[in-house]
A and B are shown apart, each in its own frame.
Chain A
Amino acid sequence: MVSELNGRRLHVADLATGSILVLLGAAMFVASIAMPTYADRGTVLTAPAIFPGFIAIILFALGALLTARTLRQPAPLPTGEGVAWRPLLTGLALMTIAIVLVGRINFQLLIAGFCVAFAAIFVSWRGARAEIVRKAGAMAIVVLVVAVLIPMTFQHVFLIRLP
């Protein structure tokens, strides 16, 4: 299983997250101030900026707390397994490409291509010939399900136009 970050990496990630939240809170607050107050409609207490401004202050404070806490504590020693970056990033890249291409090429073709690429990378094709044939057969069924059966169900049963 792709594990969580730990040790020094989590420490650095917490520091980065804390800083990003401080910046996000500050940016959100500035953007809130720039919003119209609609004072001419009777009161400024219903201005659209009130809620985002309130959340911005809390996010800023929570980010500052996380940053200060991380800076105060030493980085802990790594525990357990690290993150299996290779399968995670490969899977992420495949999914991102597929999503970016949605609407640009035929959906069924796209999803069939995703299946083939996914199988080529993540399914182990080593072993006895019979085993490989069995896996290829299973993958063919998966392609049939995701590229034909599921889209056709959405298209003809739920009357959804495919992207």
Chain B
Amino acid sequence: MIDAFLALASATTLFNVLWATLAGIVIGALPGLTATMGLALMTSLTYAMAGQQAILVLICLYIGSIYGGSRSAILLNIPGTPANAATALDGHPMAQAGMGHRALGLATVASLTGGLIGGVALALIAPLLAELALGFGSTEYFLLGIVGIVVAGRMTAADDPLKGWIAGFLGLAIATVGQETMHAYPRFSYGSLNLAAGIALIPAMVGAFGISELLMSLGSGKARMVDAPMQATPLLSNFRDMIRRKITVIRSSLIGIAIGVIPGVGEDVAAWISYGAARRASKTPDEFTKGSDDGLIAAETANSAALPSAVIPALTLAVPGSAPAAVLLAAMFIHNVRPGPMIMIENPDFVAAVCWMVIFGTIAMAVMGLALSRPLLLVLKVPREFLTPVIFCLCLLGPYALTQRIFDIYVVLAFGLLGLAMRLMRYPMAPLILGIILGGMVDQNLRRMLQLIDRDPMQVFTRPIALVLVAVCLVAIFAGVRRRPRNLQVKSQQARNQ
């Protein structure tokens, strides 16, 4: 860890940490620009950078944007990213009551705590998971992919898991397009060389998250910032409030870490689950949605703790824990880093460097969030009509820059349309992207597994990890069949519509 720190400690690193985190905060604060979209666009801009610095920029941007989303959630009642939807429930009522400054301070301190605890978890869990993954065979990898899709579908579409599963398996279906790796047979390409090359992840993500997001935000009118005067709150009082709620902080961090590790689920689900758990554990549950400190701390701590945790499976299994982590995974491949179980053997310094990157980014986020509190409010005043053409231009040039194929721009449009239709019909986007990423892995390992077990399915049940994965899959399906009430999500939707 110390070697990794010394290798990373330089003026270039400091410069990159500062600008990337600030860019992330701005991207996150602007409603309509999500962390995934920001990362997908930034990936193409870091193409020419050295590998480690490029990943550093992307991680800092990721941290900044998840935190930045809390600003618009608190002051505009519009979550800047889906991860901040639960933050708006208590943050906005606090701002309306003239405690906007305190809400922003609490969100910053909660994000700092969650991020640092998540960073430590990354350093501790990643080597253990990588070691466990060394024992994985084709059966385990195939089942891991399927479990990822089933669990992500269940958790990202809590009110209708069927739609989550449809999105995930649609992603796997899209991944079948192009030349397969065992016999080089071009599946579903109909003589087109472009289709034979397959659907690239970055154009698909820019379309699904970028273009569809731009379209969804059209006609939303001008968001109104709270006009209640903000009373300044001393920074130390925010830390005191956090210490007073240490149980909420610990619980939310653990929930964030546990949810972050699950493939494809991500920060938004972590924030909702943590918020629900805090309300259930609270002695004053009636205060929730009316400006509760516990509610705000629970949501922000969990989404920030889930972020480093979502990087753990991406590094050690090449399976992303969230949609932005999926872009990070793609960026690692672009920059010649080979994530997977062998990473602790082939490139152990990189894992340690990623832990430091998370810690640097989290500290920079807190420092800038507190120091630039007032100037950052100006970002929320930028009209969306002026931003849309800029983002659209980046959505076209970003994916094109990676391969210089016009076909990828058409992929952006096609996925923009698909993403729009899915959003309108209430399908989650994360399982779709997870499906596209995991498609190759699931495909190869399914066929290898079939060869190995040679028509004897009982062999699967002789492997303990495979048995656990089958059990998790069955539990997720069973839990999905029994629907969960969506009171919190409905409440959030109502809050956003107000």
Contacts and interface: CB of A to CB of B under 8 A. Distances in A.
Interface in B186-214: 187-188, 211, 214
Contacts of B397: 150-151, 154, 160, 162
Contacts of A63: 166
B89 interface: no
A58 B451 contact: no
Contacts of B429: none
A123 B176 contact: no
A159 B341 CA distance: 35
Interface in A51-74: 51-52, 54-56, 58-59, 62-63, 65-66, 69
Interface in A124-162: 138-139, 142-143, 145-146, 150-151, 154, 157-162
Given A66-B162, A154-B397, A163-B400, A2 B220 contact: yes
Interface string B164-177: 01100110110010
A87 B218 contact: yes
Interface residues of B, number: 67
Contacts of B497: 1, 3, 80-81
Interface in B392-444: 392-394, 396-397, 400-401, 404, 406, 409-410, 412-413, 416-417, 420, 423-426, 442-443
Interface string A108-136: 00010011001100110000000000000
Interface centre among A56, A62, A103, A138 (most CB of B within 10 A): A62
A91 B215 contact: yes
B185 interface: yes
B412 A142 contact: no
A1 B217 contact: yes
B169 A118 contact: no
Contacts of B163: 66
Contacts of A98: 392, 396
Given A81-B497, A102-B409, A158 B48 contact: yes
Interface in B267-325: none
B8 to A, nearest CB: 24
B458 interface: no
B182 interface: yes
A48 B187 contact: yes
Contacts of B19: none
B390 A122 contact: no
B215 A2 contact: yes
A50 B450 CA distance: 10
A99 B176 contact: no
B215 A161 contact: no
B48 A88 contact: no
Interface string A78-104: 001101101110111001101100110
A127 B214 CA distance: 26
Interface string B465-498: 0000000000000000000000000000110110
B219 A52 contact: no
A13 B45 contact: no
A45 interface: yes
B450 A115 contact: no
Given A1-B220, A2-B220, A4-B424, A146 B388 contact: no
A5 B160 CA distance: 15
Interface of A: 1-5, 10, 13-14, 17, 21, 24, 28, 31, 35-36, 38, 41, 43, 45-48, 50-52, 54-56, 58-59, 62-63, 65-66, 69, 80-81, 83-84, 86-88, 90-92, 95-96, 98-99, 102-103, 111, 114-115, 118-119, 122-123, 138-139, 142-143, 145-146, 150-151, 154, 157-163
